[in-house]
Structure formats: C-alpha cells, structure tokens
Structure 1
Amino acid sequence: MFKISDISIQRSHEVTVDAVCEFLPEFKKRLVVLDVGAGTGRVAEEMLNRGFQLIDALESSEQRLSVAKKRSLYDNYYNCNIATSRLPIDDGVYDVVVSAEGIGERRIPCMALRELARVTKPDDDDDDDDDDDDDDDDDDDDDDDDDGDDCHGGVVIISLKEEHLHTITEYIDRLEPAMMDLQTDGHWELLAREVVPYYSDGKTGLVFVFKRCHPNGTG
C-alpha cells in the first residue's frame, strides 16, 4: 500500500533517490531502506512515489519525526541521535541506507559514518559466485519466481552540498578522508562520487555511493 503526502520534493531528494534507482534498479518493493536524518520525510515521499515500500526513518528531532508519522511515510521510526550513540539497530539490517543532507545541513558527524556502514547488509555477490553451480540447477524454479533471488542490497548513499566540505568545520579535510578510512579498513567500497549541478538552492551537490563489504569481524 502506497503512503501519500503533500510534501513538496526538493531536487536534492530527487537526486538521492535517483542514485538508489541507478545502482539498484530492480526489486524496489523488496529493498529495506533506512533514511538517516529523515526530517519530515521528503526522501520517503520520493521513494514511495517510485515504488519503494519498506522504509524506516532515523531522526533526532521529535518534532520533525512527528510530521512524518502523521503522514504515515515510514514503517518504523527511530527518534535518536546518531551523533552521540550507537543506533538501536542490529548489524546488517538494511539493503539501502540513504542520507540526503543529513551529512551537511543536519551536521551528522564524520564518526557516524561507521554506524551507517554497520547497519547496512554486506554485499552478497561473493556468496552468490560460490553458489553459481547450485543456481544453475535451480534455473527452472527461478523462472517461476517473479521476485527472484537476485536482490543485491548493501548500498550506502550520501548526498550533500559540495560547499559543505569547505564551510562546515566538522567536514573540512575530514569527511572524505573518513570515508576512505572505512574503505581502507574494509567496511565499504566507493562505487561513485558524482558532482550534481543545481543540487539544492542553485548550489552544486555531491553524491557518494558505497557498497557495504563483509566486515570480517570489524564492522
């Protein structure tokens, strides 16, 4: 069932959802999504309009979250501050974790990146490669399954104004190095860093797309 609201969509939120659709074009109804810095639900509005159905909200402002609740935009609502504590969410729950201006306008700190990775499902491509022979044997059964078994999640998508890398103290010479540190440590892999003209308020934006890696006990 689609949940409809009257929230106007800003380009920054459209761009963020565009990235999800680009890297995970199929199985929208099956993907479990966490919207970090959800605010009043603009990202969820856009995702619902495009066919996503399983979306949770993480938001530190109870007032903002109450607006989203009134519009029934999300399935679960987490009113907590990712900047100060470990999230009340198990490891590897979400196929997709998105943050549109959570890192940026909302000042989510660099240290919170590790939490975004932790709650994201590890990519399962390697496991699937090991099972290729078994999958071949089951081709006939797979053809009868409309949903299929090829839903690969494990993606973190972060968008923000480019200027925030140079104007917000928390991010100056810190945000991108922190992202790369997590890659070096094996938590995720950078798939894309896209520059987006007219992202928000006429300003240029950046969209980062990461694939969650198997943590090998370090997630």
Structure 2
Amino acid sequence: MAESVAAQYPSNRGDIRILDVAAGTGLVSVELRKHGFVHIDGLEPSEGMLLEAKRNNLYEQYILDMLGENTLDIADDTYTVVTMSGLSREVMKKLPVRALEEMARVTQPGGRVMMNAYDYNFQSEIFRVNLASLECRGIWKLESKEARQHISNGVGGILHTYRVL
C-alpha cells in the first residue's frame, strides 16, 4: 500500500493527509513513514491495537471507531488519501455501502481512496455492487485496478484506487 501511495504522490509528501482505515497496530503507517509521509491518522475499532500503534507513535490521531453504518467524527474533505489494507473476507463482504460513502466523504475532492486485499475479497457480489454504486452516483471514479504480487505473506491481491469527485 505504501509503495502505491508513494507512486501517486511523488512530491510534497509532508503536505499529504492520510487516513489509515482498519489501522490495526499501524503496519501501513510504518511503511508510509519510510516514504516520507508524516500526517497519518489511524481509524481502528480495537482499542488494544490502537494502543499498540500509540506505543510506537505511528499516528497523529488515534480514532477509536468502526467503519460501518455510522457517521465518523471526521470533517468532510479532511484527507488527501484514505487507505484500507488487508481487511478479511468476512468484513469486506459485510461492509455496508454507507462505510464506502464515509471513506469518500472524508476524502478531499480529487483525492484517492485506495483499497487492497486478496483477490477473492473483491469477488463478493455485495461488495462489488456497493463499489459500483458510488461510481454510478458520481461520488468517485475507479482510477485503477491493479494486481499486486505481495499483499501479505507472499499472497497476491488487488489494489483498487478510486478518485473522489
């Protein structure tokens, strides 16, 4: 994920604001920081995982919340990039369209929502319909869909990049 974000933003990385959704213990932030990104917030429903990320000082803000049907306590158009990396199949196939709308809402117009996961996660009919719904309604546009060889533990996956309109 970090390499893909870096490829999209080759300069002015100190100005880029990133929200790492399903942040876990902060592994994506570790890699983003290696590429010079510094303004990274973490959204995670597990207090224990956020505490681990906090011990390592990986985020500017630690947001204890779950992406779902709720409205996040984040202002509209806050982030240049929203990332979501490695959600499980069970979570992705249940992710409501409202969650995707929230990811787009907190992303600045022209910014990107970038999601990577194992190939089979994107095969969920509900998830595919929800992704397409936002595109049909003019909320975002699929910019690229790329195969990635190493999402986790040497297993490949897909990176979807959406441009928020």
TM over 0.5, shorter chain: yes
Percent identical among aligned pairs is: 30
1:107 to 91, 108, 129: 91
Mapped to 1, the partners of 2:122 and 2:80 lie a distance apart of 27
The 8 Å contact of residues 43 and 63 in structure 2, kept in 1 or not, is answered as: yes
Mapped to 1, the partners of 2:51 and 2:38 lie a distance apart of 19
Which residue is equivalent to 2:47? 62
- 1:177 deviation in Å? 2.1
Q: What SS is found at the alignment partner of 1:86?
A: coil
Which residue is equivalent to 2:154? 202
- 1:105 deviation in Å? 5.5
For normalisation by structure 2, the TM-score amounts to: 0.92
Q: What SS is found at the alignment partner of 1:51?
A: coil
Q: What SS is found at the alignment partner of 2:37?
A: coil
How do residues 2-151 of structure 1 correspond to structure 2 at under 5 angstroms?
16-102=1-87, 104=88, 107-108=91-92, 109-111=95-97, 112-123=99-110
Q: What SS is found at the alignment partner of 2:107?
A: coil
Mapped to 2, the partners of 1:85 and 1:34 lie a distance apart of 17
Mapped to 1, the partners of 2:50 and 2:131 lie a distance apart of 27
Give the ranges of 4+ consecutive aligned residues of structure 1 lying more than 4 Å apart after TM superposition: none
Mapped to 2, the partners of 1:106 and 1:119 lie a distance apart of 24
Count of residue pairs the alignment pairs up: 162
Which residue is equivalent to 2:120? 163
Deviations 1:177-218, CA, capped at 9 Å, x for gaps: 2111101111111110001124223322010001110xxxxx
- The one-letter code of the counterpart of 2:37 is F
The 8 Å contact of residues 37 and 106 in structure 1, kept in 2 or not, is answered as: no
**Which structure: larger Rg?**
1
Q: What SS is found at the alignment partner of 1:81?
A: coil
- Superposed CA RMSD in Å reads 1.5
Mapped to 2, the partners of 1:55 and 1:42 lie a distance apart of 12
The 8 Å contact of residues 57 and 77 in structure 1, kept in 2 or not, is answered as: yes
Higher strand proportion (structure 1 or 2): 2
Deviations 1:122-171, CA, capped at 9 Å, x for gaps: 12xxxxxxxxxxxxxxxxxxxxxxxxxxxxxx1110000112234xxxxx
- The one-letter code of the counterpart of 1:206 is I
